[in-house]
Structure 1
Amino acid sequence: MPDDSTTTGTTTGTWVDDVLGSGFQARTLALADDDEGEVVTTLVRYRPPAGTALRPARALLYVHGWSDYFFQTGLAEHWHARGVAFYAVDLRKYGRSLREHQTPGYVDDLTTYDEDLDAALGVIRDELGPHARVMLMGHSTGGLVVSLWAARHPGAVSGMILNSPWLELQGSGLLRNLSTPAVAQLARFQPKAPLPNIDPGYYARTVGAATGGEWTYDERWRPTPSFPVRAGWLRAVMTGHTLVARGLRIDAPVLMLASARTLISPWWSEQMRSADVVLDVELLARRAVQLGPVVTVVRIPDGVHDLTLSAPPVRARFYAELDRWTAAYGWA
């Protein structure tokens, strides 16, 4: 993809050219102010000058993960080639939506993102009509966010696709239960207190073009190490994990994809280029079946944490699995 190290300004409510280049447009959506001031979310859409005709009844909204933003152009091209209207959202305080006065990525309750998702879906339905069939796709923390949202909004979407969703704390539910009181206590008195940053930069090394990967991206929006994890935010995530562990009963069909293996180590290894070095994929697979009554779990050999950033043959397998699942469940 092209280097998107410069930004293009956006005007609230107006589609403008996006940093990703030809075919991509961005629209800033104003949200209610919070304790830090002005808040916005940014919707990105893919509308190439020529190509496959869209079927207005079909749309997909993509939600990124922690310390991240939307830059996966191949994902947009995949869906557009199948006649699906593709949208992605940079949630408040991330990527295109991050403002200088804000604590990057910070919320203290994941239900806060209801406003972001509702605003994005409102624009999609305005453009495609109220009866458009919409799917949600979430990566990592975004996968947790959309799962919780879908559980609270039965009948709102036609399906969900989860790319390595963060459904449980590394180490198991037992570790979460043991950690929760300490995190909650710190979050009560110092919610924005940064916790020790344990990101060694190995994941960025596997995907960055300068370090042997294929991808270029704006390092202000996807920094190495990642944005500081803060106590109030971690408490919100752990609360989400607890809800997943209890069972969410999502009424739409769910596809959960993750790498076939995890490799988390304090030392670098070239094998990290073909494994998830962020989350425990075995835990993800076990938690996924608690999302709802119809869940498909697919393991992708040699996949990295964001499967769309894996090596070309692995990406091809990932996209083939999307096609196979949507042929059965998509927009039914």
Structure 2
Amino acid sequence: MLPGFERRTLPLAPDFEGEVVATLVRRRRDEPLPHDAGVDVLYVHGWTDYFFQTHLADFWEGLGVRFHALDLRKYGRSIRPHHTPGFITRLETYDEDLEAALAQIGHGESDRPTRGLVLMGHSTGGLVLSLWTDRHPGRADALVLNSPWLEFQTRKVGRRVLEPSVRAQAALAPRSQLVNVDLGYYVRAVSSRQDGSWELDPAWHPDEGWRATPAWLAAIFDGHEQVARGLSIDVPVLVLLSARSTPPVRWSEDMHRTDSVLDVEGVARRTMRLGRLVTLARVEGALHDVTLSAPEVRDVVWQEMRRWVRTYAPLRAPEPEPASPTAPVRGWRRWFGRS
């Protein structure tokens, strides 16, 4: 467990592998935030990943925002010995995980929340949250996407070549293992066990990832196709991407300064299909998880996020010092008529 954080196991409906859970993580606090902006954040990780980015929690809490992270079913703290890691057949399956987490933080379907809600997703988590927000208008106030996996790495041509065989395998042997094309270069650039700076749990974030299953990849293809057709997300969206990609075919020092997982140009083109108000920030020197980049690059990421949040997120301003009995008190900043 991360020092200073606590977790809550969220039981979900069992599937064909038996017990299934998600895990909600948050800072352990004896006292409330010094300034409460009246907003909650729920963060969702990517493929072969889990929440460990405590500095991301620091950023949000520095703005007075209550931070929560979710380890989805069969990832990270939610993996059980009988699980096929990361296995699902439909991305909509994660609706149950998200609803369980949102209910815990006061944003469930039957709640009448008095706080704003910002969703943040990385990579596959960004794809999952984009589709969820599109299907559930009015539930969130803003969406932040950190290198969201909105397009396949080889784009439309690659999908056309691979998709028929993947779907055939998904129908015949959904949990069989596909050829692993992850050579571990991204983890090499990130992990303190190799050339990086971040401590990763090898059980939850193995060096060469997990062997993908055809059913899971078919579900990803379905998600990419939905984005390609266009979504109608009704809240402001911030997309953070590296300025450049490095193909992960052989190790290069450029992998310390580029996205070695996704084709950022293909993803950038897809961002305009998300909704009517999308901000795209391309960050020179950023890694696939832009928040794990070098310190000077992270400073740019925080600057871009802070500027966007102050413009579009429903932050409640600090109560001003009472200069006089008639001093005004600023309230919520809203948009699209939500209240």
Deviation at 1:173, TM superposition (A): 1.8
Deviations 1:242-280 (A, max 9, x none): 000000110011000100000014221111100000000
Give me the CA root mean square deviation.
Answer: 1.5
Return the alpha-carbon distance in structure 2 between the equivalents of residues 34 and 54 of structure 1: 42
Deviation at 1:53, TM superposition (A): 2.2
Instruction: Calculate the TM-score normalised by the size of structure 1.
Output: 0.91
**Secondary structure of 2:103's aligned partner:** helix
Residue in 2 aligned with 1:263?
246
Deviation at 1:179, TM superposition (A): 2.2
Deviation at 1:74, TM superposition (A): 0.1
- The answer as to 2:22 corresponding to 1:28 is no
Deviation at 1:50, TM superposition (A): 6.0
Q: Is the 8 A contact 2:91 2:220 kept in 1?
A: yes
Deviations 1:215-241 (A, max 9, x none): 002110001110110000000000000
Amino acid in structure 2 at the alignment position of 1:140:
S
Return the alpha-carbon distance in structure 2 between the equivalents of residues 125 and 57 of structure 1: 12
Q: Which moved more, 1:205-214 or 1:191-200?
A: 205-214
Residue in 2 aligned with 1:89?
70
Deviation at 1:52, TM superposition (A): 4.0
- Paired residue for 1:105, among 86, 100, 119? 86
Return the alpha-carbon distance in structure 1 between the equivalents of residues 191 and 161 of structure 2: 35
Residue in 2 aligned with 1:4?
none
Structural mapping, 1:1-332, within 5 Å: 19-22=1-4, 24-49=5-30, 52-55=33-36, 57-125=38-106, 130-331=113-314, 332=334
Amino acid in structure 1 at the alignment position of 2:34:
A
**Secondary structure of 2:105's aligned partner:** helix
Residue in 1 aligned with 2:325?
none
**Secondary structure of 2:282's aligned partner:** strand
Q: Is the 8 A contact 2:242 2:264 kept in 1?
A: yes
CA 1:29/1:56 → structure 2, altered by over 3 Å: closer, same or farther?
A: farther
Q: Is the 8 A contact 1:60 1:86 kept in 2?
A: yes
User: When the two structures are aligned, how many residues end up with a matched partner?
Assistant: 313
Deviation at 1:296, TM superposition (A): 0.4
Deviation at 1:54, TM superposition (A): 4.7
CA 1:208/1:223 → structure 2, altered by over 3 Å: closer, same or farther?
A: same
Unaligned runs of 5+ in 2: 315-333, 335-339
Amino acid in structure 1 at the alignment position of 2:203:
R
Q: Is the 8 A contact 2:130 2:274 kept in 1?
A: yes
Return the alpha-carbon distance in structure 1 between the equivalents of residues 223 and 35 of structure 2: 35
Unaligned runs of 5+ in 1: 1-18
Q: Is the 8 A contact 2:43 2:69 kept in 1?
A: yes
Q: Is the 8 A contact 1:54 1:85 kept in 2?
A: no
Deviation at 1:183, TM superposition (A): 1.0
Deviation at 1:166, TM superposition (A): 0.2
Deviation at 1:34, TM superposition (A): 0.3
Deviation at 1:193, TM superposition (A): 1.0
Amino acid in structure 2 at the alignment position of 1:114:
D
Q: Is the 8 A contact 1:52 1:82 kept in 2?
A: no
Q: Is the 8 A contact 2:244 2:259 kept in 1?
A: yes
**Secondary structure of 1:258's aligned partner:** strand
Q: Is the 8 A contact 1:51 1:81 kept in 2?
A: no
Amino acid in structure 2 at the alignment position of 1:329:
Y
Amino acid in structure 1 at the alignment position of 2:55:
G
Return the alpha-carbon distance in structure 1 between the equivalents of residues 211 and 141 of structure 2: 35
Q: Which moved more, 1:238-247 or 1:258-267?
A: 258-267
Residue in 2 aligned with 1:7?
none
Amino acid in structure 1 at the alignment position of 2:83:
Q
**Secondary structure of 1:210's aligned partner:** coil
Q: Is the 8 A contact 2:192 2:200 kept in 1?
A: no
Q: Is the 8 A contact 1:43 1:87 kept in 2?
A: yes
**Secondary structure of 2:193's aligned partner:** helix
Report percent identity of matched pairs: 50
Return the alpha-carbon distance in structure 1 between the equivalents of residues 248 and 13 of structure 2: 41
Return the alpha-carbon distance in structure 1 between the equivalents of residues 10 and 37 of structure 2: 22
Q: Which moved more, 1:157-166 or 1:174-183?
A: 174-183
